[in-house]
Amino acid sequence: MNNSSNKKNKTNKEEKGFGDLLKDAYSAFNKELVQTEIKDKEKKKEVLRAGIERVEKKAKKELKSSKMLLERLMEIRRKAEMAETIGTGGKIKVPIMFGKEEFNKKLERELLVIGTEELKEIGSAITISNLIRYFKETRPNWKIRTIDITQAIKRLEEAKIIPKRVDIGEDEVLIRFKPIELSNDINRILQLATGRMVLTVKEIAEQLDWPIERVQDTLSKLIELELAVLDEETGEYYFPGITKV
C-alpha cells in the first residue's frame, strides 16, 4: 500500500510541468508579498525576480527543450525588468540557452548603443580602458569579462562597422564609433592627455615644443570633433573620453 502510494507521488512529481512549477513559484512569492506587505515598487520587483529565478532552477531541462516556454519566461522577465537572457541572478552572460553567437550579437549591439548614442556628446570616441569601465558601471546586470568587450570591439572593427582603433600611448588605444580624421597633431595632444585630468595651452606648448598658435589650432579642431572641452573660466581643456575616470 505504502509502496503504491510512494510510487504515485513520485510519478506526480516527475510529471509536474513548467506551468505547475511557475504556479508554485508565483504562489511562493505572492505569499512573500502579502506577508511583508511591501509597498515599494522596487522591493516588489526583487521578490518577483527571486521567484523567477526559482522557476528557472526548477525547470532548467524543460526550458532547454521548449522555445514556447522560453518565450513565456522572457515575457515575465521583461515585466520584472530583468535581462532577457536567462542566467543566475538575472545576469546577462554566455548562456547555454541561446549560445555564444547570440550573446556576441547582443554585446556588439550594446556597444554600438553606447558608442553612437551615450557617448555622442564626447565625440563617440573613448579609450578602451574607459569603455570597459563605463560598460561595467552602467550595465551591472551583464556578467561579462574584459576580454568579451575587447573581442567584440575587434569584431566590429574587422566588419568595418566602426573605424580602426588609434594608438595614443604605450598601453592605451582610442576606440572610435564614427569616422574621425585624426591628424598627427591631434594624436600628439591625445597622447599627452592620456591619464591626465586637464591640460592648458601653455602645458601643451611646453611639452610638445610647439608654438602657441599650433596648439590653439589643434585644440580648436579637437573641440569641433567633440573630443575636447574648454573650461572658459580656467582656460583648461578636458578630454572626457581620454581622461582616466
Q: Would you give the end-to-end CA distance of the chain in angstroms?
A: 71
What are the residues whose beta carbons fall under 8 Å from the beta carbon of 81, sequence distance 6 or more?
45
Distance CA 88, CA 82 (A): 11
CATH, range 101-169: 1.10.10
Instruction: Name the residue ranges covered by the structural domains of the chain.
Output: 2-82, 101-169, 181-238
73-85: per-residue pLDDT in tens? 666 666 666 655 5
Place of cell 573605424: 163
What's the rounded Cα separation, in Å, for the pair 104 and 102?
5
206 has a pLDDT exceeding 90: yes
The top-level CATH class assigned to 181-238 is mainly alpha
pTM of the model: 0.58
What pLDDT does residue 242 have? 86
Determine phi and psi for 5, rounding to 5 degrees: -65, -45
3-state secondary structure of 209: coil
pLDDT band at 41 (very low <50, low <70, confident <90, very high): low
Q: How confident is the model at residue 104 (pLDDT cuts 50, 70, 90)?
A: confident
pLDDT at 130 over 50: yes
Instruction: Name the residue type at position 240.
Output: P
Domain 101-169 and domain 181-238, same fold? Reply is yes
| pLDDT at position 154 | 95
Average pLDDT over residues 223-242: 91
Q: What is the CA radius of gyration of the chain?
A: 26
Task: Check residues 103 and 44 and name the one with the higher pLDDT.
Answer: 103
Confidence of residue 219 (pLDDT cuts 50, 70, 90): very high
Alpha helices, H only, the chain: 2-14, 18-36, 41-58, 60-65, 67-79, 99-113, 128-138, 146-158, 184-193, 201-208, 212-224
